[in-house]
Structure 1
Amino acid sequence: MTSILNNAGAISALRTLRTIGSDMMATQGQVSSGLRVATAGDNAAYWSISTTMRSDNRAISAVSDALGFAAAKADTAYAALDAVIDVLGEFKSRLVMAKDEAVDKGKIQKELEQFKQQVQNIAHSASFSGENWLNTDIANIYDFDLNKASSLAAFIRAGSGGAAVRAMDFHLSEVSLFNSTGGGLLETDMRDLKTLGGLRTLYADPYSGSDSTVYDGGLGSGWMYPNGAGGGAGSFFLNDFPVGSPLDFNVPGAQIQFTILLDKEASNPQNYTGAAGQIEELPGPYLAGHSKTITITKADLDAVNPGLGGIITTNTEFAAVLNSLLNAEGAYVSASYGQYVPYNSSNWVHDEKRMSISTQQKHPNGSYVEIAGLSSVGVGLGGLKEASDFGSRGSGMELQFEDFIVHEDGDNLDGVEISFGFSVNDAPATSHSFNRTYVNELFGKDSGKVETAEEMAILLHSLIDADWPDLIIEATPAGTVMIKSDPAVDRQWGSGTRIGFDTVRVNIEPVPKIDFLTIDIAANPDKVSAYIDYIDIVTERIIDGTATLGAFQKRIEMQSDFTGKLMSGLHKGIGRLVDADMNEASTRLKALQAQEQLGFQSLQIANSNPEAILSLFR
């Protein structure tokens, strides 16, 4: 049916043209932008994902730039450390040359000064964009949080939609040669625990003559001996042997007789005070000790040395005779009790004429010696006299406390670790250890510092009490720490007693105790060997730091490669979500253009029928 009011064919053709036009506009947009999803209206889910990932890709690109910056800093530091190792090799060769007595050490020192300047120049020049890893300004170089250099390593999109940035940390304590507050690889290590609050005693090296300001054989200033103390046996001096007054036992009936009493116990002997200086009461019962009457005759002399001919002329001869009779009873006579003074003194004393008698403590618990009922017939006494002496009762020692800090230790969050053995009266030693975390938790601190003798006593109690419940540990008014066995429990006396620390170990030792820049063989020619050992140790530390830096460089390289691949992968993934297929889009565009032409023709045909009807009215 044909109607002059409604042209159904034209309306249909026009509707088709509108649809084709809309499709052509979308397809043309894909062809011109290259995107299948260009706006949220195209596909809200894909558009949201792609927009987020494009933002993440830009963040990862920033990470890639940061990795390049970190690589540049690490490369600079590595090159400088490698150069320093070479200079230290030359430095060591000059020190070895200085071992030759014929070499002028003053001239070699001039070379060494130039090497020192070169090392400083290298360290100061190893800067990239104002950042220097070899010449640092760190308030506490041993602090794990303060000594790290960080570089962006990754940008992470969490599954819940949150984002996070990850960093790579490198601890500058590994490579810093000079630090403004000390602690660089070529400076004194400030973590030196010294006497550890008195647990060990500092002695100068008696062989090299090192003192507390120089490096001793690469192990520190002086020797650190574990601290320990034993009781003293009962012992007293005899009179000097009378010069020119031999003891002639050839006289008929000649003899010397006395009673010896060994190892008895008594409550509060008059000449005994406790380990802390106070008079102490020993609870009973008390041992009576061992008593024996000794008679010396010519037969006894002949049994010891027939060559004496029955005549004693020196204290050495007399001591030999006395020992032949007293050793079996538990006493010992010394013919030359000496007095000794420290090394390097010109007053070394060894008195050959001084005799003494001591208990060997062959009898339980006691430490006492006494000569009584002394008499002689036909001869003199040769220096013997009636006397007695108690030794020390119980085990005890006094620590000369000085404050110390248990420092941080790089990646070890618990800090420096100290271990030691402890024993009383030669019982099997027990092992104990503590670290910075232990000290801080014990005292509620964050400094790792043991500041007073009272705190040292608390620390030792916390470590030792479980194995040695009868031990008395207390601070003294003089600021020392007294450690002793309980006299109500420990009845041991004399040299049979011992209390002390052994196998004291600190996990960071040895540590350098001098600065590289203070080495002076002209002023200290006797310390060349110590300096050589020092250079060996610091060179090894720098080599270790260089190796760690090399590993960090490799990690940066690997992370950079991964970041590049990650960016490429993300770009490809975004494309799969929103990129248009250009072959398909262009083909579809051509098809739509053809459809559009056909639509125009259909519209023309549809409009031609009403024109024919209108012609009837003309």
Structure 2
Amino acid sequence: MTSILTNSSSLAALQTLRSIHSQLSATQGQVSSGLRVATASDNATYWSISTTMRSDSMAISAVSDALGVGAAKVDVAYAGLNAVLDLLSEVKARLVAAEEDGVDKAEIQSELDQLKEQVRNIATSSSFSGVNWLNTEIADIYDKTLNRAAVVSSFVRGAEGGVGVKKMDVDLSQIALFNSTGGGLLQADPRDLGTIGGLRFPFAPDGTMSSYSVGNESGFTPSDVKFMFNGPLAFGVGDEISFDVTIDADNPADPISPPYHPGDTTHVVIERATVDAVLPSANGVISTYKEYAAVLSSALSGSGATAAIYWEYDPPWSKNIVDVPDQIGITYIGNSSLDGSSLQITGFTSTVGSGGLSNSAIQYGERRSSMTLNFEPFRVYEEVVVNFDLRVGRESSASYSFDKDYVNPLLGVDDGLIATSDDMATLLNSLLARPDIIIEATSGNAISVRTDPSIDRKSGQKSGIGFWGINVNIEPIPKLNFLDIDIEQNPQKVTEYIQYIDVVSGKVASGAAMLGALQQRIDMQSEFADRLMSSISKGVGRLVDADLDEASTRLKALQTQEQLAMQSLQIANANAEILMQLFR
């Protein structure tokens, strides 16, 4: 159909040309930008993902840079600690040389002063970008909220879109050589608990503390019933010696209430058969004190007592041991099922003479079930744990421990301070929680620890109370300041100084090892960050990058199509010109 109003062929050609222009524009954009998805209108989903991941990649790049700064800080601190370790070895060598007789300690001290100054210089100069981990100013270097330095390690995006920066913490208490408020590796450790409120005492001149309490108490056995042999004793048929042995009667003088147990009594008989069994060739005659002791020991079997001879050093304080002639003792063994501790000989009769043995007064063992602690204030710091054992009488030891988290709510403080003897009594009562033990602050700074006699009736060697196995998890700790070492003024402390250098050298080496591990982790994290950025770039490229081979080929095809479409439009317009000639 031919119309003077509508040129259908021209419209079709024009529509085709517009479509080709649109495709050609998009393809030219891909070729020029290299992107298949350049704007949100190209593909909203892919564009959103690529924009977010490019942002993350830039953040990871910043993390990589931060890791480089962190690595530099660690490297500087590590180099400083290594240098100080070498100097500490030099200091130790000088101190060992100072123990030699005849050396000039003033001259050695001069060398030590130079080494100390060099250590100080290393600590103050081990700084990177104004950050110094070896010379710090921390109010409490053991407080976890204050002693942390951080190195940025990673950028993360959570499953729900949340983002965050992860950091690696550095515990400065493990590497700081000097701190403004104390606690550096080369300074006296302020966490020294001293006597732990009186639980222990200084064990050696260098300040080493005991692992038990100076007030530990153990009761004593009853004294022996001693006598001098005055034999011989000749036993015939029908002859005998008899007596009663009573052991472990309660002592009314002890702080226990009645009734008092009378003890176990055994009737002992010595006759001809008894003598013959012990001395088969003696024909019933006990001639010496050793023979009498042997016969008595046999007869006393099962009674809770025995007989023995005595010996002594001759001369005194020598290693030569000799018997005490003619002296015999009835010695306590005891009955573990009874609370008392005593020994007595009664009802003695004989048809052959006594041999020196006779009735005796009752001998009580000494009850010791109380001790006194001399309290001194102390503070329990973070991560400090005190362990100790309590032993009462012949019981197995029971173990206890406490730390700052236990002390603070118990005493209503926030700094771990046990300031008074009442505080210490409260702490021990809370830990032990035993109704048979009474713990209370007494006059001055004394703390009484004792068993309740209404519950604990044990006496003699069966009684006792004490603290053992006392241990603090952070010990040994340095109790000196490195810069205070002075063998010229304190020549008697050379050995103590050597021991101190050993302790702090170990702590400095541990700090260097920690930094070495941190160095390795930073290197691994840096390598991972590089790989992660590369992987993100590849992933984004797969989503939005254009295939330039395909795009260039399509571009040529569309250019050809454009030329053809333009020619078609020209032909369509030429047909209209022919029609118009009919009206001329």
Pairwise same-fold verdict (TM > 0.5): yes
Alignment of structure 1 residues 596-611 onto 2, 5 Å: 596-611=562-577
1:565 alignment partner, SS class: helix
| Residue correspondence of structure 1 range 63-102 to structure 2 within 5 A | 63-102=63-102
Q: Is 1:24 the equivalent of 2:12?
A: no
- CA contact under 8 A between 1:392 and 1:494: conserved in structure 2? yes
User: Which is worse superposed, 450-459 or 169-178?
Assistant: 450-459
State the distance in 2 between where 1:27 and 1:446 align: 71
Aligned-partner residue type, residue 167 of structure 2: A
Structure-to-structure mapping, 1:352-363, within 5 angstroms: none
Amino acid at match of 1:405: R
Quick one: distance in 1 between partners of 2:413 and 2:27? Answer: 71
Matches within 5 A, 1:212-361: 216=206, 220-221=207-208, 223=210, 225-227=212-214, 228-231=216-219, 265=250, 267=252, 269=253, 280=255, 282-285=257-260, 287=262
**Given that residues 394 and 485 in structure 1 are in contact (C-alpha distance below 8 angstroms), is that contact kept between their aligned partners in structure 2?**
no
8 Å contact 1:233–1:359 — kept in the other structure?
no
Q: C-alpha separation between the residues in 1 aligned to 2:32 and 2:549?
A: 13
Q: Return 48-57 or 392-401, whichever deviates more.
A: 392-401
Can you give the 5+ residue segments of structure 2 that lack an aligned partner in the other structure? 224-229, 231-244, 266-286, 291-304, 317-328, 345-359
Aligned counterparts of 1:285 and 1:262: Cα–Cα separation in 2: 13
Q: 1:587 to 1:361 in 2, by over 3 A?
A: same
User: 8 Å contact 1:283–1:488 — kept in the other structure?
Assistant: no
Cross-structure match for 1:193: 193
Contact 1:332/1:360, CA 8 A, preserved across alignment? no
* Cα distance in 2, alignment partners of residues 449 and 360 from structure 1: 50
- How much does 1:362 deviate? 5.4
1:567 equivalent among 514, 521, 533? 533
Q: In structure 2, the residue corresponding to 1:140 is in which secondary structure?
A: coil
Shift of 1:480: 2.9
Letter in 2 for 1:40: A
Whether the aligned pair in 1 keeps the contact of 2:342 and 2:363 (CA below 8 Å) is yes
Indicate if the aligned counterparts of 1:332 and 1:359 stay in contact, CA closer than 8 A.
no
Computed over aligned residues only, the root mean square deviation of the Cα atoms, in angstroms, reads 3.6
Change (3 A) 1:599 1:503: same
Partner in structure 2 of residue 401 of structure 1: 375
Tell whether the 8 Å contact from 1:176 to 1:184 is kept in structure 2 after alignment: yes
Determine helix, strand or coil for the equivalent of 1:197.
coil
Superposition deviation, residue 331 in structure 1? 13
Task: Indicate if the aligned counterparts of 2:195 and 2:209 stay in contact, CA closer than 8 A.
Answer: no
* Offset, 1:568: 0.9
The range that moved more, 31-40 or 597-606, is 31-40
- Within the candidate set 413, 419, 430, 1:462 is matched to 430
User: Are positions 1:558 and 2:533 aligned together?
Assistant: no
For the residue of structure 2 that corresponds to 1:200, the secondary structure is coil
Structure 1 range deviating more: 159-168 or 559-568: 159-168
Aligned equivalent of 1:509? 475
AA at the equivalent of 1:285: Y
The equivalences for 1:95-174 within 5 A come to 95-174=95-174
Q: Give the equivalent residue in structure 2 for 1:537.
A: 503
| CA distance in 1 between partners of 2:495 and 2:466 (Å) | 33
- Unpaired runs of 5+ residues, structure 1, are 211-215, 236-248, 250-259, 273-279, 291-301, 306-326, 339-357, 371-385, 409-414
Q: Give the corresponding residue for 2:554.
A: 588
Query: TM-score if structure 1 supplies the norm length?
Result: 0.74
Residue type matched to 2:495 in 1? S
Q: Tell which deviates more after alignment, 29-38 or 515-524.
A: 29-38
Aligned 8 A contact 1:80 1:126 in 2: yes
Amino acid at match of 2:444: A
Q: In 1, Cα distance between the equivalents of 2:421 and 2:480?
A: 28
Instruction: Confirm or deny that 1:429 pairs with 2:429.
Output: no
* 2:61 aligned residue: 61
- Give the letter for the 2:195 counterpart: T
Instruction: Work out the CA distance in 2 between the residues paired with 1:199 and 1:283.
Output: 34
Instruction: Give deviations 1:116-145, integer Å, cap 9, x for gaps.
Output: 000000000000011001111111111223
In the alignment, which of 409, 419, 440 is matched to residue 408 of structure 2? 440
Given that residues 47 and 578 in structure 1 are in contact (C-alpha distance below 8 angstroms), is that contact kept between their aligned partners in structure 2? yes
User: How far, CA to CA, are the matches of 2:260 and 2:361 in structure 1?
Assistant: 24
Deviations 1:137-171 (A, max 9, x none): 11111122321211111111111111121111111
SS of the residue 2:532 aligns to: helix
Q: Which moved more, 1:489-498 or 1:602-611?
A: 489-498
CA–CA distance in 1 between the matches of 2:183 and 2:113?
21
Shift, 1:390, TM fit: 7.8
How much does 1:14 deviate? 0.7
Q: Does 1:488 align with 2:476?
A: no
User: What is the CA deviation profile of residues 168-188 of structure 1, one whole-angstrom value per residue up to 9, with x for unaligned ones?
Assistant: 111111111111111111111
SS at match of 1:144: coil
Evaluate the alpha carbon distance shift between residue 475 and residue 43 of structure 1 in structure 2; reply closer, same or farther with a 3 A threshold.
same
SS in 2 for 1:103: coil
State how far apart, in whole Å, the 2-side matches of 1:553 and 1:407 are. 29
Change (3 A) 1:604 1:22: same
CA contact (8 A) 1:124 1:134 kept: yes
Quote how far apart the aligned CAs of 1:599 are.
Answer: 1.0
Report deviation, 1:392: 5.3
Q: Paired residues, what number?
A: 503
Sort the Cα spacing of 1:490 and 1:91 in 2 relative to 1 into closer, same or farther, 3 A: same
1:452 is the counterpart of 2:420: yes
TM-score, reference length from structure 2 = 0.78
- 1:7 aligns with 7
* Matched-pair contact (CA < 8 Å) for 1:424–1:499: yes
In structure 1, the residue matched to 2:33 is 33
Secondary structure of 1:189's aligned partner: coil
How far apart are the structure 1 equivalents of 2:504 and 2:475? 13
Shift of 1:196: 1.4
Superposed displacement of residue 447, structure 1: 2.5
Q: Which deviations, in whole Å up to 9, do the C-alpha atoms of 1:373-424 show, x marking residues without a partner? A: xxxxxxxxxxxxx99998754511122222322222xxxxxx2222222111
- The letter for the 2-side match of 1:453 is S
TM-fit CA distance, 1:499: 0.4
Alpha carbons 1:264, 1:286 under 8 Å: kept: yes
